Amino acid sequence: MVTGYTGRLRKLDDLAFAAAARAYSDEHPRPAFATAAAVRSAFATGRVVTVAGDSVSIADRDEVALDVVDPAAATIAASLTLRDVAAWRAELSRAGITPTAVGEPNTAIGQVRFSVAAPVSITTAQLEKARLFGARVEPVTRHHQTTWATLRRSPPAGLDVGGATLPDDQIDLIGLHVLRGIPHDAYAIVTGESPDDYWYVLPITIALAATMLVFAWALVRAIRRDLWPARAG
């Protein structure tokens, strides 16, 4: 539930910036997300069904991006309040862990990070066995970016992301940067507006209605006074 929010829902075409918003949308790609299965289904059709249920058209030039967890890599975040970098290196070596890279110590948070070429589960077990509780193990996420032209040539074994083939079951979502126009019946939320801002509408409506009744009454009296006697004569 959203609290502390004030706004009003209005038709986009009723707003002054509607044309500018539509022009921007037609010229700038927006991200849409789809599963690996949905992407494979779109190889032949050129239309992808997103996780939101929309069907979007995608062209060869459109960019595709995805993040996947590297199953053969991990990062050890070690506390510098217990040991310095050299001491951590020695302790990790005794635990059978050989870092492939060491980050710059972060003195602000008192932490140093070691890159390891081993799965998270194995690295965690090694730390626990060595009773090195001043460190935690984090997964490593790899970012891949390519185009739809490259991706749609993927083999059945996995998705080709330009230099690497990733198994479908390792992929959660795929980001597709596509051009999508704003629907003709779109609405916009105008923030800062609330019903209290239009308190004067009801009194004005009542006053106008009363004025119309007075004029209608005057018109009827004028007709009865000026026209009906003439007809009777």
Read off the pLDDT of residues 57-110 as tens digits, 9 standing for 90 and up: 999 999 999 999 999 999 999 999 889 999 999 999 999 999 999 999 998 999
- Structure tokens of 37? 């299965």
Residue 119 and residue 219 in one domain: no
CA–CA distance, 6 with 191 (Å, rounded to integer)? 6
CA–CA distance, 86 with 99 (Å, rounded to integer)? 12
Q: Is 89 helix (H, G, I), strand (E, B) or coil?
A: helix
Q: What is the mean pLDDT of the chain?
A: 88
Flag whether 74 is in a domain.
yes
Residue 76 and residue 135 in one domain: yes
Could you identify the residue written with the tokens 């972060």?
Answer: 106
Q: 39: domain range?
A: 7-62+151-187
- Report the predicted TM-score, pTM, of the whole model to 2 decimal places: 0.63
Domain count, the chain: 3
Flag whether 1 is in a domain.
no
Residue 138 and residue 74 in one domain: yes
Mean pLDDT of 169-194: 85
CA–CA distance, 63 with 29 (Å, rounded to integer)? 9
Flag whether 207 is in a domain.
yes
Half-sphere exposure for 166 (CA within 13 Å, toward CB)? 24
Residue 51 and residue 86 in one domain: no
Q: CA dist 162 to 64, 124, 148, 182, 209, Å?
A: 11, 32, 10, 31, 70
Residue 138 and residue 161 in one domain: no
Residue 27 and residue 75 in one domain: no
Name the helix (H) or strand (E) containing 219.
helix 201-226
Strand partners, 89: none
CATH number where 87 lies? 3.30.70
- To 5 degrees, how large is the angle CA 127–CA 129–CA 135? 25
- Please state the φ and ψ torsions of residue 148, each to the nearest 5 degrees: -65, -35
Flag whether 2 is in a domain.
no
Residue 177 and residue 225 in one domain: no
Residue 82 and residue 121 in one domain: yes
Confidence of residue 148 (pLDDT cuts 50, 70, 90): very high
Residue 32 and residue 58 in one domain: yes
Residue 127 and residue 227 in one domain: no
Flag whether 222 is in a domain.
yes
Confidence of residue 227 (pLDDT cuts 50, 70, 90): low
Residue 136 and residue 91 in one domain: yes
Flag whether 81 is in a domain.
yes
Flag whether 194 is in a domain.
no
Residue 75 and residue 138 in one domain: yes
One DSSP character per residue, 120-187 reads: HHHHHHHHHHTT-TTEEEEEEEEEEEEEHHHHTT--TTSEE-SS-EE-GGG---EEEEE--PPPTT-E
Flag whether 127 is in a domain.
yes
